[in-house]
Amino acid sequence: MSGPKAEITSVLVTGGAGFIGSHLCQELLRLGRRVVILDNLNEFYASSLKLANLAAVRASAAAGRLAVLKGDIRSAADLERAFRALGDPQQGAVVHLAAMAGVRPSIEQPQLYHDVNIGGTLQVLEACRRFGVMRLVFASSSSVYGNNEKVPFAESDAVDYPISPYAATKKAGELLCHNYHHLYDISVACLRFFTVYGPRQRPDLAIHKFARLMRAGKPIPFFGDGTTRRDYTYITDTLQGVTGALEWLSGQSRPGYEIFNLGESRTVDLSTLVRLLGEALGCRPALERLPMQPGDVERTFADISKARATLGYDPQVAIEEGIGRFVDWFRNQG
């Protein structure tokens, strides 16, 4: 069956009040698209921060270009409101970002992560089928690679051994997306994000948490010996990948299903990250040395050749520049 060829003019963003979601909504509005946000504003971190994110999005929106709905992706009724607000399904797409995030909390609350990340994704896919919205971007995670020995991580690598419930839910989400692509001709781009950071980053994530503790003169939790490595990706580069995926979906003449890594294709060890952050803040970090945590991977490292070739993905912001930009924003928050 031929896939949809119509230009994407309206986008439903689940989790649009979050860190990545709010930045994406602003970018989509800048590109002239109409945006519908569905977010339940939960208290995984302070809802006041999400409301501030929404205020920034609203400030970017022309009249009639933005609809913000409070609702839960596990609720068929809430999704129905959001999909009806999207309008013409032939010109619509969904970017599904909403999820319970974080590796360590998923070990403490595996049932909640299963319900939201797997059950909620199934409800989103069912709504796509019911309302005829045939283009979906699914936010996956580099955590699906587990402790993969082969580097850099490529989309063709086996990802059968996740080491946290969170990672397992993201792998399950990719599989559900493939089910609905195969059964109902929904075109899907699964994007494996690699440690996204930048202004408005969630306060529980390392860079933001470390900066807050350093400014207060408190020691930072330093897990392991400092040699764990991450492929940090600045928010504007991640946005470039997401909008590239929407363009790819818009251009498909037949239904497609692909997985893409969105990273910087460079790894930075924990000791270097802390040093860069301390230098940018003008302080000497104090460390609270702790053992490695269950579920934490030893390294992430993205092979981005597929995203470069297919999506035109071309990350620009190196960690040194990105940390400086983050600290500028952080200081302005008081």
Cβ within 8 Å of residue 9, ≥6 positions away:
33, 34, 88, 91, 92
Alpha helices in the chain (DSSP H): 19-30, 47-60, 76-86, 103-108, 110-113, 120-131, 165-184, 206-215, 235-250, 270-281, 305-311, 319-332
Task: Determine whether 124 is exposed, middle or buried from the number of CB atoms within 10 Å of its CB (0-12, 13-18, 19+).
Answer: buried
CA distances from 62 to 42, 53, 213, 287, 318 (A): 27, 17, 38, 46, 33
Q: For residue 64, give both structure tokens.
A: 């009639």
CA angle 163, 203, 74 (to 5 degrees): 60
> Could you tell me how many residues make up the chain?
334
Q: How far is 203 from 322, CA to CA, in rounded Å?
A: 17
Q: For residue 183, give both structure tokens.
A: 């059964």
DSSP, collapsed to helix, strand or coil, labels residue 115 as helix
Whether 166 is catalytic is yes
Backbone angles phi, psi at 79, to 5 degrees: -65, -35
How far is C-alpha 276 from the chain's CA centre? 24
Q: How far is 269 from 283, CA to CA, in rounded Å?
A: 19
For every residue of 243-296, which 3-state class applies, written as one string? HHHHHHHHCCCCCCEEEEEECCCCCEEHHHHHHHHHHHHCCCCCEEEECCCCCC
Catalytic residue among 113, 145, 166, 234: 166
Question: Which residues are identified as catalytic?
Answer: 166
